[in-house]
Amino acid sequence: MSRVIIIGAGLSGLSAAITLAKAGRRSALVSLQPSERAQSVLAEGGINAALDTMGENDSADEHFNDTMRGGVFLASEAAVRALTSHAPETVMWLSSLGVPFNMKDGKIIQRNFGGQKKKRTAFAKSSTGKMIMTSLIDEARKYEDKGLIERFAHHEFIRLIIDNGECVGAVVRDRYSGKSAGISGVVLLACGGMNGIFPEMTTGTTQNSGDAAATAFVQGVTLSNTEMLQYHPTTIGISGKRCLVTEAARGEGGRLYIMRGDERYYFMEDRFPDLKNLSPRDVVAREMFFVRREFGGEVFLDMTGLDEEVWKSKLPDLREEIKSYLSIDPKDTPVPVKEGIHYFMGGIYTDINHRTSMQGLYASGECTSLYHGANRLGGNSMLGAVYGGRAAAEDIVKNTADDGKNDEISFAIDDAGNFGEPASDELILKIRDILLDAMGIVRNESTLDNALERLDRLSAERGYNDRENARFAVARAMLMSAKERRESRGAHYREDFPERDDSFKKATVAQYKNGKVSITFKALDERGEENADKT
């Protein structure tokens, strides 16, 4: 093996590339667009770590407990233990790279976030993702200069190169020239959540087509927990997508209400007196759905009580954004909000060292399904992406070697071959609409069955290309996983099985073989034990 091929140059891909480079390992960093355009720059609120800077006696144990409870015990304990115990050093590493976290008296200050009672979320005003990315990009540049990181920043992942069941490289296409190359090496997929399965309906990037993970799936890579879609409670509709109103808005005192007759009913405060507006996202989103059904009309986010200083020092971009998109000032007027697809807890199955089911293939960041169980806590996504990228890289360093071969990558192939042709927009929207009808906040078996039948009919309509077939397969995996999980847990709420049933305290596992998708369940500890000597 020579260089490591990293697909995706967001938080996770960059963290992995830097970690590899520090260990002297070369990587090819492949992304459709430069890192500045990665979805990671959109992350707003912050990154969790029990730094305990707020005098609340916080600890990694409590972070662990909150993450497990928030994910309704569907994540692997060993993985979450590793994540939360390494969180403080992860944030301090970022700080040492120059991320301008908000500080006071020489210490990083932390804010409240959903599902956690202690102030644990480090932040840089309301553009934490952008700030972390800028510093990681600077750091990666150092290793680009040394030749350890080679950027392919207008390049598209086409497919894995598989030899005898082992991943030995990837085919990549230059978007500008249209020419492709086969690159050999260990592959790390850090390609983000599958937003492209739901175009226009998520808060994510339009760059993500979902094709990378879907292609890996039909090439034999196992997915898990794909039924777990996080609907963020507070999004606003803007031209072409859902725009996130950061959870920090509630962390800083924003309140949700609906009109009950003539009065404002602050339903979260009334019905969830413990965590109130900062209950986990699945709880808030579901309750919004229920109160709308009960009272009609829209749910509003009331941020009029936030003082001037909070807007200025902690949420400046948010105010600007709402003003520009909705032409209202959230300081004076409550904002109508709705749930929007925000995060994919499910994705590529990995063990706790980020190895996928295929030898030679790793995955980290939102495209995996490791840390967040049935519902991700706010502030844990950036942590999972950065820590996960580093952990994957460390395992690669430990278990693979660079043969030092300086095989130059040359983009000379005219036709990329299999998986080279994009899926048609028309089909993408049809599949999206079928999924949306069945994979909403409240689900039941008959709508899931109905969606599966519609998919069958659609797939029988005509012949499809490779990426289209892969999309069908992922859509089936999502619907079938949602169907097989006959309980309610976290983001997955079945009105026909409204209670949690711990006989389902297992990961759904989707596999693709001979053109067919199958779903099984896997015990949570099968992901492996914590690697004790990981830094």
Query: What is the distance between the alpha carbons of residues 91 and 135, in angstroms, rounded to a whole number?
Result: 12
Q: Is 312 in the site for another protein (CB under 8 A)?
A: no
Contact 344, 366 (CB under 8 A): yes
Nearer to another protein, 33 or 400 (CB): 33
- Kindly write out the interface string for residues 19-48 of this chain, putting x where it contacts another protein by CB under 8 A and - elsewhere: --------------xx-xxxx-xx------
Query: What is the distance between the alpha carbons of residues 178 and 416, in angstroms, rounded to a whole number?
Result: 9
Nearest approach in angstroms of CB 164 to another protein is: 37
Nearest approach in angstroms of CB 103 to another protein is: 5
- Kindly write out the interface string for residues 80-99 of this chain, putting x where it contacts another protein by CB under 8 A and - elsewhere: ---------------xxxx-
Q: Is 523 in the site for another protein (CB under 8 A)?
A: no
- Of residues 171-200, those binding another protein (CB under 8 A): 176
Q: Is 323 in the site for another protein (CB under 8 A)?
A: no
Structure tokens of 174?
Answer: 């230059």
Phi, psi (deg, nearest 5) at residue 130: -60, -40
Nearest approach in angstroms of CB 340 to another protein is: 13
Contact 14, 153 (CB under 8 A): no
Nearer to another protein, 320 or 501 (CB): 320
Query: What is the distance between the alpha carbons of residues 203 and 242, in angstroms, rounded to a whole number?
Result: 5
Selected range binding another protein among 130-138, 247-255, 380-388, 447-455, rule: CB under 8 A? 130-138
Q: Is 153 in the site for another protein (CB under 8 A)?
A: yes
Q: Is 421 in the site for another protein (CB under 8 A)?
A: no
Query: What is the distance between the alpha carbons of residues 258 and 260, in angstroms, rounded to a whole number?
Result: 6
Nearest approach in angstroms of CB 418 to another protein is: 23
Query: What is the distance between the alpha carbons of residues 92 and 100, in angstroms, rounded to a whole number?
Result: 11
Within a 10 A sphere around the Cβ of 525, how many other Cβ atoms? 11
Structure tokens of 509?
Answer: 């596992």
Q: Is 484 in the site for another protein (CB under 8 A)?
A: no
Q: Is 451 in the site for another protein (CB under 8 A)?
A: no
Question: Is the sign of the CA dihedral 209, 214, 216, 218 positive or negative?
Answer: negative
Q: Is 317 helix (H, G, I), strand (E, B) or coil?
A: helix
Q: Is 417 helix (H, G, I), strand (E, B) or coil?
A: coil
Binding positions for another protein, rule: CB under 8 A: 33-34, 36-39, 41-42, 95-98, 100-104, 106, 108, 124-125, 127, 130-131, 134-135, 138-139, 141-142, 144-145, 151, 153-154, 176, 205-207, 238-241, 243, 320-321, 324-325, 327, 425-426
